[in-house]
Structure 1
Amino acid sequence: MEMLYYLAFGTLTMVVLVLELSKTNKDRINTSPAFNSFKNNYLLVYSLMMAGDWLQGPYVYYLYSTYGFGKGEIGQLFIAGFGSSMLFGTIVGSLADKQGRKRACVTYCIVYILSCITKHSPEYKVLMLGRVLGGISTSLLFSAFESWLVAEHNKRGFEQQWLSVAFSKAIFLGNGLIAILSGLVGNLLVDTFGLGPVAPFDAAASILAIGMAIILSSWTENYGDPSENKGLLSQFKAAAIAIASDEKIALLGAIQSLFEGSMYTFVFLWTPALSPHDEDIPHGFIFATFMLASMLGSSVASRLLARSSPTVESYMQVVFSISSASLLLPIVTNFFVVPTNFKAGGVSFSGCILFLGFCTFEACVGIFWPSMMKMRSQYVPEEARSTIMNFFRMPLNIFVCVVLYNVNAFPITIMFGMCSIFLFAACALQRRLMVIARTLHGYTIKTDRFMTNYKLLGSNDNADWIELFNLTSKLESVFCRISGVLASAGVL
């Protein structure tokens, strides 16, 4: 193994430890014991759910290949997973809002366990069913749990800022430490104990069952819109109207789709990018290094979210710019770095640059998740949260399906260039979201001061108060439209 990988892994480990141990009071948010108990319960469940997901990831392709399926058939199985997430995601999201988020989380466990069981069969149709079930599970994983957390947090009357603590810790543990441990456990089961490629799926099913037991015994139910006269179609329509009528929600959805689409494309492309000549690179060790970089990003995000400045809308522009530059490196190295001769299993100079760039991108991913969760908690309405979040995933799944279907049709540099453009577009949209957020925030402060002064003048006339409120509402609408025009013209 090249010394570069050891050096990167060791350096990232030390940096993460230093960041976590050197936090001051400014970097922490003081919370109550009741919230800490609530947060720890959620983190335990979320970590188990992510462990069930991470255990499967490295061995899905390998398992299908051991059953004798070729690249084309395996590609179709993967497309079925993302396709089912796209087709059924919004439906299950609406059901979660309507029938309850706790039930949706339990459903995730059951459906994913069934998906794991299908991996024991070498039959193509059974495996296809497993992929469909896995796609539905993924939609629930990335919507129902966050929706339950936000709703339960608000129901218990905790401070809004404390959500940032739960978000950053969830990503630090679930998308960082748990991912690394899951990779090591999977490697232990398959290679050390020789239990075969199905063993990680059995372990995942067991862990999901434990998590489901904790949910059933300790979680309470909450809903988006529990009204009996509002059906699934009405819930779906309400979510679509909310996205169409509120520019902030629409921008947030577009940003999420652009970033996550690029992220999932990167998952498929980093291996051929680092081993263009089929070099024998340490995939598991590189994956663990990427997860450490993601932990570094989530640790940085926890510090940023604990402060009032810079705002999340502001610093995410920088994150998207850096991530765009990171995925542009394959094109840069292809044109400006002279190819060198190296032995199989070695790493070229361009490979070193790409590896460090990809670690930077993974650090941006670590910042993205808790920051996006924070913005969703601010802008996405509670009554249709799961539905709207799965709306956001529809263009993402379409994009990934198209990429998978045409993965051999375009050079790898073209694919990375497309991802870089998408991330730059996300940066531009984040700029627009920041302008709107600042405009509304500034207007709210001025309006609050004005109404306070009005009260001090001693006016108790309800009719005057209503007329004043209507006037300020109209002024807000006009002000926002003017700001939108100026932003579109590049003035703001």
Structure 2
Amino acid sequence: MFPRIVNHAVKKWKTLKRHVEKALVSNPTVMDKKSHSLTEPHNIHYKNLQRCYLIAFSLATFADWLQGPYLYKLYKDYGHTDDTIARLYITGFVSSCIFGTLVGHLADRFGRKMLCSSFTVMYALSCMTKTSPSYSVLSFGRILGGISTSILFTTFEAWYVNEHINFLKLPAEWLNSTFSKATFYNGLSAISAGILAQIFAEYFELGPVFPFIIAIPFLFMSLLVIQSTWKEHAGLVQPRDGLFKDIFSPLKLLFENDRSLLFLGLVQTVFESVMYTFVFSWTPILADLQPPLGIVFSLFMISVIVGSKTYSCLIAKRYQPQNLLTASCAVSALTLTVVTLSLTSMVVHIQDHDPITNKSMSVICLAMFLVYEVSVGIYYPAIGYLRSRSVPEEYRATLSNWLRVPMNVFTCLMITLNNGSDSEDVTGLKKFQFIFGLSTFMMIGAVVASTIFARKYSKKVVCEEVAELKAGKRLLSETV
């Protein structure tokens, strides 16, 4: 039985090899054999499209990063308590849950350029609400911020993928380069925005509200780029059974056919839930070291940049995006395991008043956090590419927002659990021990889900490309 299976597999492989060799011989100048994909050109349409997208997206993310460092301090200066601040944070994530899927459907139906333009205006209004200490005004700003964040991290990508694949008919493999560059520039935006925010808020003593004010011009510069260089292709989704059913209908795709999209969605949900949990948890864990938080944050962003460059290098050496996604999940699971064990040691020794051990464990945690951020830098371009290849075009923005819903719910739960945590007492440390322990188990599940997805995706790629080769439509452009 087993030899028969092996012989069958060998025959299939030889057949596939003949098709590939035939395509290469008939099109010898199309493929660069030293790279993962078709040679990334010197294609003027591709370069212009990539430039328009990256400029608009980088300006938008720069404005977003400007607001991060001083949001908590602004609320504190307005006299709000930690419980009130936690509710404001939760309001933003709940807003993203409730309204994100609606704006995703509007983008797919009425145009993604229109939604991205609306994002800049909406986020500018959210920034303007920060000038008021009123809780109701700030809550309204958080609602606008939640909607805007959903658009920023789903609709921008959906617009670019549609232009790249469906209208310019460019090879899908070139998306790897664009998403890697987007992650790289996002890291640079975070570093430069943090420095600029600190200069205006602290050095010029303009206060924590000023970074929100200076974010507005960058949002309108992004709007100017979008309006002047982007094209609109509306009507990807035609109304069928009413707005409510149209919004929920993309969920059926998760459970159809081989369910590979379901496993990809699980990976995205778990990885990004853990990532946002990390964002709200790392500061108190490093309290014993008393590090300059701005420098630590910059180191995190540099690690993300290193991860994006690592992804580009590995893709050039013919490593597969689906396997790199699994690798990023595995590295994340490993680092979180070490952090959990370090926190366990700190819980034991804090009662013994052993500051040396606690500081040593904090140093280990910091090192693991840096490695974790490298995995984040690999994850983002990998998930962006695989999502572009797996999600149907007509539901791209809607389904991407649906995949963010459980992430937002989990983040709200973690914010609630984090509320009142303090690393200087054993109760606070036990909370973080539980949070990172739970995150570790979730990431192990993500490794399993990404492994299953990689197997299904690779099989799907082989079947599709062999069929296209036989039909003479294209040559094999992804290795398996």
**TM-score tier after normalising by the smaller chain length:** 0.7 to 0.9
Instruction: Give the aligned partner of residue 214 of structure 2.
Output: 203
* 1:443 Cα deviation after fit: 3.7
Residue in 2 aligned with 1:219?
230
CA distance in 2, matches of 1:219, 1:295: 27
Given the alignment, which residue of 432, 435, 444 partners 1:424? 444
- The answer to whether 1:162 aligns with 2:162 is no
Seen in structure 2, the aligned counterparts of structure 1 residues 375 and 85 have a Cα distance that, compared at 3 Å, is: same
Q: Which amino acid aligns with 1:179?
A: A
Matched residue type, 1:96: A
Residue 55 (str. 1) matches residue 72 (str. 2): no
Judge conservation of contact 1:238–1:384 (CA < 8 Å) in 2: no
Q: CA deviation at 1:352?
A: 1.4
Alignment of 1:193-272 (within 5 A): 193-223=204-234, 225-227=236-238, 231-246=242-257, 247-272=259-284
Per mean C-alpha deviation after superposition, the further-off stretch among 326-335 and 284-293 is 326-335
In structure 2, C-alpha distance between the alignment counterparts of 1:208 and 1:449, rounded to whole Å: 45
Deviations 1:278-328 (A, max 9, x none): x53211110000000000001111223334x32111232221111011112
How far apart are the structure 1 equivalents of 2:49 and 2:466? 36
Q: Which whole-Å CA distance do the structure 1 matches of 2:344 and 2:100 have between them?
A: 41
Number of the residue aligned with 1:475: none
Partner Cα distance (1:220, 1:315) in 2: 32
Alignment of 1:89-168 (within 5 A): 89-154=100-165, 155-168=167-180
Give the drift of 1:262. 0.1
Tell me the amino acid that sits aligned with residue 60 of structure 1: L
Does structure 2 retain, via aligned residues, the 8 Å contact 1:243–1:388? Answer: no
Separation in structure 2 between the aligned mates of residue 237 and residue 74 of structure 1, nearest angstrom:
32
Task: Name the SS of the counterpart of 2:332 in structure 1.
Answer: helix
Q: Distance in 1 between matches of 2:252 and 2:235?
A: 16
Match of 1:348 in 2: 359
- Letter matched to residue 261 of structure 2: I
Deviation (angstroms), 1:230: 6.6
Question: Deviations 1:46-80 (Å, cap 9, x if unpaired)?
Answer: 11000010000111111000001110000000000
Aligned counterpart in structure 2 of residue 386 of structure 1, from 382, 393, 397 = 397
Closer/same/farther in 2, CA of residues 284 and 310 from structure 1, 3 Å limit = same
Mapped to 2, the partners of 1:122 and 1:238 lie a distance apart of: 41
**Counterpart amino acid of 1:421?**
F
Distance 1:231 1:52, change over 3 A: farther
AA paired with 1:293? Answer: S
User: What amino acid sits opposite 2:302 in the alignment?
Assistant: L
Kindly state the Cα deviation for residue 450 of structure 1 after the two structures are TM-superposed: 7.3
1:280 matched residue in structure 2? 290
| Structure 1 range deviating more: 334-343 or 415-424 | 334-343
Q: Shift of residue 217 of structure 1?
A: 1.4
What SS does structure 2 have at the residue aligned with 1:254?
A: helix
Aligned to 1:305: 315
In 2 relative to 1, CA 428–186 (structure 1 residues): closer, same or farther, beyond 3 Å? same
Q: Cα distance, 1:189 vs. partner?
A: 0.5
- The residue aligned with 2:379 is 368
Number of positions where the alignment pairs a residue of Structure 1 with one of Structure 2: 423
Among 181, 197, 202, which residue is 1:191 paired with? 202
CA deviation string 1:193-222 (max 9, x = no partner): 111111100111111011111111111112
Partner Cα distance (2:395, 2:462) in 1: 27
Partner SS for 1:392 = helix
Taking a change above 3 Å as real, the CA distance of residues 441 and 160 of structure 1, as seen in their structure-2 partners, is closer
Question: In structure 2, what is the equivalent of residue 476 of structure 1?
Answer: none
- Quick one: which amino acid aligns to residue 79 of structure 1? I
Shift of 1:254: 1.0
Equivalent position SS for 1:122: coil
Letter in 2 for 1:252: L
1:159 positional shift: 1.8
Report the counterpart of residue 334 of structure 2 in structure 1: 325
1:181 to 182, 192, 199: 192
Q: Which amino acid aligns with 1:428?
A: V
Change (3 A) 1:412 1:336: closer
Which letter does structure 2 place at the counterpart of 1:352?
V
| 2:301 pairs with 1:291 | yes
Question: What CA distance in whole angstroms lies between the structure 2 residues aligned with 1:315 and 1:162?
Answer: 16
With over 3 angstroms needed to count, the CA separation of the structure-2 counterparts of 1:130 and 1:424, relative to structure 1, is same
Amino acid at match of 2:325: M
**Identical counterparts, % of pairs:** 34
Cα offset, 1:25, TM superposition: 7.1
TM-score by length of 2: 0.83
1:361 match: secondary structure: helix
Secondary structure at the residue paired with 1:69?
Answer: coil
> Unaligned 5+ residue runs, structure 1?
1-23, 453-492
Contact kept, 8 Å, 1:305 with 1:371, in 2: the verdict is no
> What stretches of structure 2 of length at least 5 have no aligned partner?
1-32, 422-429, 473-480
- What code does the residue aligned with 1:414 have? F
Q: What is the TM-score normalised by the length of structure 1?
A: 0.81
Q: CA offsets per residue over residues 425-461 of structure 1, 9 Å max, x none? A: 1100011111212333344466567778xxxxxxxxx
Partner of 2:25: none
> Offset of 1:232 from its aligned partner?
2.8
